[in-house]
Structure 1
Amino acid sequence: MSKFIAALRSLLFVLWMAATVIPWAVFSLVASIFIRGTPLFWFTTFWLRIAITGCRFICGVRYQVQGMENLPDGPAILLPKHQSTWETFAFPTLMPRPLCYVFKRELLYIPFFGWAMARLDMVHIDRSKRTEAWSRVAEQGQRFMAQGNWVIMFPEGTRIARGQQGTYKTGGTRLAVATGASVVPIAVNSARCWPRKSFLVRPGLVTVSIGKPIAPAGRQADELMREVEAWIEAEMRRIDPEAYSTQ
């Protein structure tokens, strides 16, 4: 596909998201007056299905999920690889339970999208205040999991370029040790189609691979995260070998 066609399709996709997010965010804000919790989550995140569907039909981004049988029945903390906006949008549409994202509070200031997100059961933190941020994650994470939600944290903290590896931080495994919830490592090669900091979205197949849950009993947070890191990085080389061919 030529770069021009890819740019045109990407522009149409951006327009699709802009045209659909504004009315849906308004609907969600109004709905939040009457409903909260799980019903509001599914109502609000339906827009993410609209966005992912648009990404597929406008830009040609398909996906497959491997390992759905590995998802636990009880409390869980999802720890995915983070390469793109795609998985941020896709995970709530793929998982059987409401997700509680841990994210920087600046995202709440995004017009419409952030305003609607602020009405959901999420953990928004001030990264400049680490002690306060961790206390908020521990307290709210445990409370939301008790309500049946799964917590989701990107252990590398930010989007990582294809074929690269960031620093895996132990926030997610610290929460697991504190609460007893299992951690679920997830590999995703979304940067093949939607690279970070790129306007262009190219057609292709995104693979999401879900690992087996790891119980935190008797484990230290750093040791547990090293196991998560080892599984994700090995799995990334399996589902996207081209990105690591020169390593």
Structure 2
Amino acid sequence: MALIRSVLHLLVMIVTVIPYTCAILLVRLLGGGPAARYRVARAWLALCIDAARVLLGIRTRIAGMEHLPQGETQGAVLLVKHQSTYETFLMPAIMPHPLAYVFKKELLSVPFFGWSIGSLDMIHIDRGQRARAFVKVLQQGRRLLAKGTWVIMFPEGTRTARGEKGEYKSGGTRLAIEAGVPVVPIAVTSAKVWPRKAFIKRPGVVDVSIGRPIPSEGRKPDELMDEVEAWIEAEMRRLDPEAYRD
């Protein structure tokens, strides 16, 4: 049954991404700005999350929304625990501000999905040219943050297995310090139901815990990232103690 449900959910995503991509491209062709295109993309992501709830039995329990910065133009860098694809779909669907992901440029070549994100105001980088890539992150990140778009990054860089911790890199805190905005740490237990690189998903609850914003003024990138890492990893142990018995 879990296999059938997972196949059905994948089919829903494949079938629906085509018309939504066409809608994004049409909005762009007609002169619609980034905000209009983002709303279409966000609607598709929310649809995929709703389909996961109905077909896969995956529900979301969110705590800490009140901690998010207030104000239409208040910038923030969201630093999120990364365990599966689920949170990449979930975050834009639940956040009150438009989000800009930092992603590898290879995704732009993925049919429909890549065409969609290429039409959005996000930051795609060449990971093979790290110095140039980070300059681009800083330049575009400051521009986006100045207009109230929140930049979202996964400080571990890639998905980690349940109960594991990757190497936290300081790119997100460097951007926050350069732009003068706070960082918001977020813990997500998605691997309980949607394991890394797994096709078959399981029903259950994904806990999302949003921490209080941490000011970046006067901080050093590594020091600030150490604080983010400590909060996220402690929160992961609180939310999913079975994964950290060792």
In the superposition, the TM-score normalised over structure 1's length comes to 0.97
Question: Map of 1:9-48 to 2, 5 A cutoff?
Answer: 9-33=5-29, 34-48=31-45
Aligned to 1:133, what secondary structure does the other structure show?
A: helix
Give the counterpart letter for 2:179 in structure 1: T
State how far apart, in whole Å, the 1-side matches of 2:181 and 2:37 are. 24
Shift of 1:174: 0.4
Shift of 1:37: 1.8
**Is residue 2:224 matched to residue 1:224?**
yes
Give the counterpart letter for 2:55 in structure 1: I
In the superposition, the TM-score normalised over structure 2's length comes to 0.97
Shift of 1:177: 1.1
Give the counterpart letter for 2:201 in structure 1: V
State how far apart, in whole Å, the 2-side matches of 1:136 and 1:218 are. 23
State how far apart, in whole Å, the 2-side matches of 1:131 and 1:67 are. 35
Shift of 1:71: 0.3
Aligned to 2:107: 107
State how far apart, in whole Å, the 2-side matches of 1:48 and 1:114 are. 14
Q: Is the contact between residue 23 and residue 40 of structure 2 (CA under 8 Å) also seen in structure 1?
A: no
Aligned to 2:206: 206
Give the counterpart letter for 1:17 in structure 2: M
**Is residue 2:55 matched to residue 1:58?**
yes
Aligned to 1:215, what secondary structure does the other structure show?
A: coil
Q: Is the contact between residue 27 and residue 36 of structure 2 (CA under 8 Å) also seen in structure 1?
A: no
State how far apart, in whole Å, the 2-side matches of 1:16 and 1:218 are. 47
Shift of 1:150: 0.2
Aligned to 2:208, what secondary structure does the other structure show?
A: strand
CA RMSD of aligned residues (A): 0.7
Moved over 6 A (4+): none
Aligned to 1:45, what secondary structure does the other structure show?
A: helix
State how far apart, in whole Å, the 1-side matches of 2:237 and 2:107 are. 31
Percent of residue pairs bearing the same amino acid type: 55
Q: Is the contact between residue 36 and residue 120 of structure 1 (CA under 8 Å) also seen in structure 2?
A: no
Give the counterpart letter for 1:107 in structure 2: L
How many residues align? The count is: 242
Unaligned runs of 5+ in 1: none
Q: Is the contact between residue 24 and residue 40 of structure 2 (CA under 8 Å) also seen in structure 1?
A: yes
Question: Map of 1:69-108 to 2, 5 A cutoff?
Answer: 69-73=66-70, 74-108=74-108
Aligned to 1:185, what secondary structure does the other structure show?
A: strand
Q: Which moved more, 1:154-163 or 1:42-51?
A: 42-51
Give the counterpart letter for 1:216 in structure 2: S
Shift of 1:145: 1.0
State how far apart, in whole Å, the 2-side matches of 1:113 and 1:172 are. 25
Question: Map of 1:123-162 to 2, 5 A cutoff?
Answer: 123-162=123-162
Q: Is the contact between residue 78 and residue 153 of structure 1 (CA under 8 Å) also seen in structure 2?
A: yes
Shift of 1:81: 0.1
Shift of 1:38: 1.5
Aligned to 1:75, what secondary structure does the other structure show?
A: coil
